[in-house]
Amino acid sequence: MSNEDSILKEYFQDPRIFADAFNFFLAETGLQVDPGMLRPLDTDQVLLPFGIDTETRLERFRDLLQALVSMTDGERTYLILGIENQAKVHLAMPVRNMLYDAMQYSSQVQAAARAYEAERQAAKQEKRDPAAKLQPGTEFLSGMKKGDRLIPVISLVIYYSPDPWDGPRTLHGMLNWEDGRDRFRSFVPDYALNLIEPAGILPEEFSRLTTPLKQVLEYIKYSNSYEDLLYIVDQDEEFRKLNRQTVRLLNQVAGAHISYTEQEEEPMDMNKALKDMIAIAVKEKDSVIQQKEDQLQKKDSELRDLQKQNLQRACKMISDGLTVPQIIDYTGLTEQEIQRLMASEN
Domain boundaries, the chain: 3-200, 297-345
Q: Distances from the Cα of 180 to the Cαs of 176, 177, 183, 184, 244, in angstroms?
A: 10, 7, 6, 8, 56
H or E element: which one contains 130? none
Find the radius of gyration of the CA atoms of the chain: 33
Q: How many residues does the chain have?
A: 346
CB atoms within 10 A of CB 186: 8
Structure confidence at residue 265 (pLDDT): 61
CA distance 277 to 271: 10
pLDDT per residue rounded down to tens, the chain (346 residues): 567 788 888 899 999 999 999 999 999 888 888 888 888 876 554 444 333 343 434 444 566 767 666 444 455 557 888 999 999 999 999 999 999 999 889 888 988 898 889 988 999 999 998 888 888 999 989 989 988 888 889 999 999 999 999 999 999 999 999 999 999 999 999 999 999 999 999 999 999 999 999 999 999 999 888 788 888 888 888 888 888 888 889 888 887 777 766 655 666 666 677 767 666 666 766 666 677 777 888 888 888 888 888 888 888 888 877 888 888 887 888 888 878 877 776 6
CA distance 103 to 109: 10
Nearest to residue 19, comparing CAs of 36, 31, 33?
Answer: 33
Structure confidence at residue 331 (pLDDT): 80
Identity of the residue numbered 49: P
CA distance 95 to 157: 13
Asked if 119 and 111 count as a contact pair (C-beta separation under 8 A), the reply is no
CA distance 137 to 144: 11
CA distance 116 to 144: 8
Structure confidence at residue 94 (pLDDT): 96
CA distance 346 to 344: 5
Question: For the purposes of burial, counting CB atoms within 10 Å of the CB of 344, is it exposed (0-12), middle (13-18) or buried (19 or more)?
Answer: exposed
Q: Distances from the Cα of 169 to the Cαs of 6, 91, 292, in angstroms?
A: 26, 9, 42
Nearest to residue 27, comparing CAs of 221, 235, 219, 194?
Answer: 194
H or E element: which one contains 113? helix 93-125
Nearest to residue 338, comparing CAs of 320, 319, 315, 321?
Answer: 315
Residue 58 backbone phi and psi in degrees, to 5: -110, 135
Residue 154 backbone phi and psi in degrees, to 5: -120, 120
CA distance 204 to 218: 11
Structure confidence at residue 46 (pLDDT): 42
Asked if 316 and 327 count as a contact pair (C-beta separation under 8 A), the reply is no
Residue-wise DSSP of 148-188: --PPPEEEEEEE--SS---S-SBSGGGS--TTTGGGGGGGS
In the chain, what is the straight-line distance between the N-terminal and C-terminal CA atoms, in Å? 78
